[in-house]
Amino acid sequence: MATLAGVFAMSHSPFCYMPPERWNEVRASRPLRPDVPRDDVEVNRAKAARVATAFATLRAELAAAAPDVLVVFGDDQLECFDFANFPTFAVYAGGTFHGALADGGRARVPGHPALAAALLAGLMRRGFDPAFSLDMPRPERGIGHAFLRPAESLTDFSTPIVPVFLNCYYAPQPTARRCYQLGAAVREIIAEHPDPIRVAVVGSGGLWHTPRAKDAYLDEAFDRAILKAMTAGDARAMARHFDDYEVPAGDASQALGGRGPAATGLPGAGGPQGGTRETCNWIAAAGVADGTPATLVDYVPIYASPIGAGFAFWRGR
């Protein structure tokens, strides 16, 4: 039978891969809320060093877990799908995929069709109706950064990955509760999978951020409440906190907007909007490990973005 080797969660902001000397340069091009703190270059260098240490810690933990395959919960930002047909949940079941790296290079990653097929069948038996891809939807572009960033930050590209897409960005999105339920279902599917493989799970993205939005800011209190529930091993509480959040009146950073190239114009689910909804990838991963307290490696507030960059893991068996 398959074994859950471990669960991991990581932010994948461009600022996690960008030289800290450029952070304030990029900040100057973004319409942040006036009360967002401003760090000088020395503080930014120290924060970049913390991010690098966090990635190194997760990479070492993953190596010690020795997985045969990773299941990555991530989102698509119009890289594979568009508004002609955008799935709420999807599983990539092809033999390989490729995509862009943070430095602009390219990488190819093996898939794991057998586990992907088991996930598809198991999710359907549990009341989910995921879409699937056997080939790259847009081979000229490749799969999205939500999946390539874990591959480049945590692996040497030889470990097979099964991408599981969650529609985090584009209204109407699934609730955090539904994402938790997806993670719980994946845990059951791994436990019943007959192949003697070690499976690790990764939640990619988040935490609080509304990239390039007008009046963007960082709600550290929101993130801390999510992390408190996570380190207590309570994924349901993470989902409740997320779904119960109400966007303040007049908060331009979370406005859904009308129909456009990057917005559906449709009503969204409750909870924060924008990139903060990538926290649902963490909630799905936490659903796999529900009941086990997470180890928080670090939480780094990067005000130049602004984003709450987080890194955590749950050890498996």
Q: Tens of pLDDT along 155-176?
A: 999 999 999 999 999 999 999 9
Q: Determine the Cα–Cα distance for residues 285 and 288; give it in Å rounded to an integer.
A: 5
Residue 256 confidence (pLDDT): 83
Taking all residues of the chain, what is their mean pLDDT, rounded to a whole number? 96
Give bridge partners of residue 7 from the DSSP assignment.
Answer: 201, 314
Residue 273 confidence (pLDDT): 95
317, pLDDT greater than 80: no
Q: Determine the Cα–Cα distance for residues 55 and 67; give it in Å rounded to an integer.
A: 17
What tokens were used for 10?
């990581």
> Could you read off the pLDDT of 263-292 as tens digits, one per residue?
899 998 899 999 999 999 999 999 999 999
Q: Alpha helices of the chain — where are they, by DSSP H?
A: 23-27, 41-65, 113-125, 145-154, 176-192, 220-231, 235-244, 279-288
Burial class (CB in 10 A: 0-12, 13-18, 19+), 233: middle
- Please name the CATH architecture into which domain 3-315 falls: 3-Layer(aba) Sandwich (3.40)
Residue 257 confidence (pLDDT): 81
Pick from 65-74, 75-84, 140-149, 262-271: least confident: 262-271
Q: Determine the Cα–Cα distance for residues 146 and 275; give it in Å rounded to an integer.
A: 12
For the chain, what percent of residues have pLDDT higher than 90? 95
Whether the full predicted model's pTM is greater than 0.85, yes or no, is yes
Domain boundaries, the chain: 3-315
For the chain, what percent of residues have pLDDT higher than 70? 100
Residue 37 confidence (pLDDT): 97
Listing DSSP states for 247-274 in one string gives: PPTT-GGG---SSBTTB--SPPPSS--G
Nearest to 32 by CA among 43, 23, 41: 23
